[in-house]
Chain A
Amino acid sequence: MRKPAGAPRRRLSLSSREAIWAYAFLLIPLAFFLFFRLWPAVQSLRLSFFTWHVDPEQRVFIGLQYYREMAANIAAKGDLYKALRNMLYYFLIVVFGQVALGLFSAVLLDSVRRLRGLFRAIYFAPYVTPAAAVAWVWGWMYSVNFGIFNKFLSDWSDLVTSIGLPWLAVDPQPFLTSPKQALVAVAAVVVWQQLGFQVVIFLAGLQGIPRTMLEAAAIDGANGWQRFWSITFPLLNPVLVFSLVISTISTLQMFDQVQNINFTDQGGPLGSTLTIALYMYQQAFQKFRIGYAAAVTVLLFVIIMIVTLVQLRLTQRKVEY
């Protein structure tokens, strides 16, 4: 029999071993994050300082020239300016529309006991439908001459005229071909499509609220509205923050719906529905100005970061359970 040489091997404590394993497992997502998220972002920043060419050796360093071009475009109220202005409108309509309607629908669904799964599926179905298909169908529904909305409007107008109330008649609306209406029409599609996601998030939040609190308040004589404002809403705060941030980020990255719905031109009539992501796409893949498009992505990144930080700041409250 051989004698063990040297000092006996020191065994790691259980907690150390657990920590090592935890970090080992964390390495995989970390590596994924570094290589597939952070590295491309850094590359895109680097790219924004160079002119584009297929051959990397022929890319010329131009410093901040693309950033100056973006500033000039905004100053001259060019396409980038339009995209930024549109993003603000999208943000106001889509984010608040989604969060308010999502919360409202979730509260209603929460009080329904039967067929809850079915309702949830109905709300969620648009969310999992491909954006291109959604855009195509809505494009037809919005059609001036063949769309269901205008059919409804003209039937309504015929009805009110026939009963002697012509002042209630509404003319057919151009929707997507009107520079004034196109953005709202697209925003409505996005709210409709993503509502299901918000509903599911809020439902989960609502179900996490202890029933005992609501029951106690009811016994104390609080009505439904008071229970919502004083108990449900404050306790939903973490979910609300999450929902707001996610909705903001996806709205600021809006692309599919605007790219696929039909207008008189890409990005809406007279650029009225253009988004930053679509503007970037056009620069990169239609004009092959990938360096400039990279500079636009940096701008988009900065905007999303600032908006998200501001939102987190404004909505961060300590929640006592």
Chain B
Amino acid sequence: MKRFLILLAVMLGVGIGAAQTTITYWQYDYKTRVDAMTQLIAQFEAANPDIKVVQETFPYDGYQQQVAASLPAGQGADVAQLFYGWLPTWQRAGYVIPLPEQYFDAAELDTNFAPLVQAAKVDGTWYGLPTAVRSLALFYNADMLKDAGYDAPPATWEEFVEIAEALTEKQGSRFVQVGYGFAPNGQDHHLLREVLFRQFGGAPYSDDNSKVTYDSEAGVAALTFYTDWVTKYGFAVPEFVPGNNGYRDGFRQLQNIAMIVDGSFAIGDVRKVDFNWGVTELPVRADNGIKSNFGSFFMNALTPNAAKDPAKLEAASKFLKFVTSDDAMKLWLDVVGELPASRTLIADPELAADPIYGPFVRALDYAHATVFVDETGQRDVLIDAINEVVLQGTSPAVALKEAAAAEQLLLDANR
């Protein structure tokens, strides 16, 4: 009898253990983001002892490949992080599922999240939520500016050009220091699309996003101004520091790049540098003062794996709610540096006045989140236009015309 009771107790114990639901969370590997998520998971598990969350990360370049290969085999993430621009591609191929109505109230989400976050919807349906949003700003090496006799960062593009030229150094025919970290394949294609096209009086797309509209006088002026940094003023050099992150490495580690345009996600890493630096809102043109910015976010979405059984769906939904709660956003801000995605938190006047977060927060008021249909394809179109001008000597008008035609094909094909 005693033996039977012990056996029963062991079986019950195993039974209780088995009742725990395990879900898998995937994101790309970026140290501060992984740190933040590790802390969030620990908090979530403490509050939900019946749920275990396994975090798995992959290098950015191979992240989508892992997702594309694993989910069709029923493996991998239940909750996955993705760039909002990838959503149309992922949704078309069924890699994300709509947020289940029983756990998420669409109307509530509309009110709670910053307007920018509407880009997490496809045809009016929510497919995921972000913990944080980001905008662009100009990071500058304050020591370099000071040495060149500048006390303040540029407020206009005219000042920007002057400072960047002053901070560029050459030895013979080779550059040893440049004023600006030129990165069309970094954030600069966003800078051109959502900032410069608009500041020069145009717009990248029609209001319903069905037509490309940058093939205009304003567009050509914007592309000319941007490519002049390389071809006319010579303070920007393609691939000055080799690598996809070369512009960041040159700014942070090598200290041979004086200014870069980067997202708020870079704050966490820039903080670790050992020189004086600052960040300021993107410059404007002196004659019209139009402000514009690119707003974006990485969102967390549920995959078809999460929908396999109700317990998993509940656990994954709970986890998604937790990592997109106000408390999680505050932690994310501290650890990663990205801005909270909730309306109330972002409206905090203290945040807007902060010398580091302030420029990004203020930019959210006039930021546009491009409505992509094929982020990779649309990105390549503008990068090619820039390369045509700076590497091939094509005129900006011709390069832009070709780009607009190519991008229009992408828009038409994916609608």
Contacts and interface: CB of A to CB of B under 8 A. Distances in A.
Contact of B239 (A54, A136, A177, A266): A177
A288 B380 contact: no
Contacts of B244: 262
Interface string A167-189: 00001101011110000000000
B238 A264 contact: yes
Interface stretch (B92-100, B117-125, B159-167): B92-100
Contacts of B246: 262
Interface string B351-391: 00000000000000000000000101100100110011001
Contact of A139 (B71, B243, B304, B383): B243
Given A144-B239, A150-B174, A285-B65, A270 B391 contact: yes
Given A54-B304, A262-B246, A282-B376, A288 B90 contact: yes
Contacts of B64: 285-286, 288
B174 A172 contact: yes
A88 B350 CA distance: 60
A52 interface: yes
Interface in A245-269: 259, 262-266, 269
Nearest to B171: A154
A65 to B, nearest CB: 12
B174 A144 contact: yes
Contacts of B374: 287
Given A154-B173, A264-B387, A270-B388, A143 B93 contact: no
Secondary structure class of chain B's binding surface, majority of residues = helix
B174 A154 contact: yes
Interface residues on A, range: 35 or more
Interface string B159-191: 000000000000011111000000011000000
Shortest 8 CB-CB contacts between residues of A and residues of B: A54-B94, A285-B65, A288-B93, A262-B242, A286-B376, A53-B94, A139-B242, A285-B68
Given A142-B242, A145-B175, 20 more contacts: A53-B93, A54-B71, A143-B241, A144-B237, A146-B241, A158-B172, A176-B242, A177-B238, A177-B239, A178-B391, A179-B392, A265-B383, A284-B65, A284-B68, A285-B69, A286-B64, A286-B89, A287-B89, A287-B374, A288-B89
Interface of B: 61, 64-65, 68-69, 71-72, 89-90, 92-95, 172-176, 184-185, 237-244, 246, 304, 374, 376-377, 380, 383-384, 387-388, 391-392
29 contacts: A54-B304, A136-B243, A139-B243, A140-B242, A143-B242, A144-B237, A144-B239, A145-B175, A145-B176, A145-B240, A146-B241, A150-B174, A177-B239, A179-B387, A262-B243, A262-B246, A263-B239, A264-B239, A265-B384, A270-B387, A270-B391, A284-B65, A286-B89, A287-B374, A287-B377, A288-B68, A288-B92, A288-B95, A290-B68
Interface of A: 52-55, 58, 136, 139-140, 142-146, 150, 154, 158, 171-172, 174, 176-179, 259, 262-266, 269-271, 281-282, 284-290
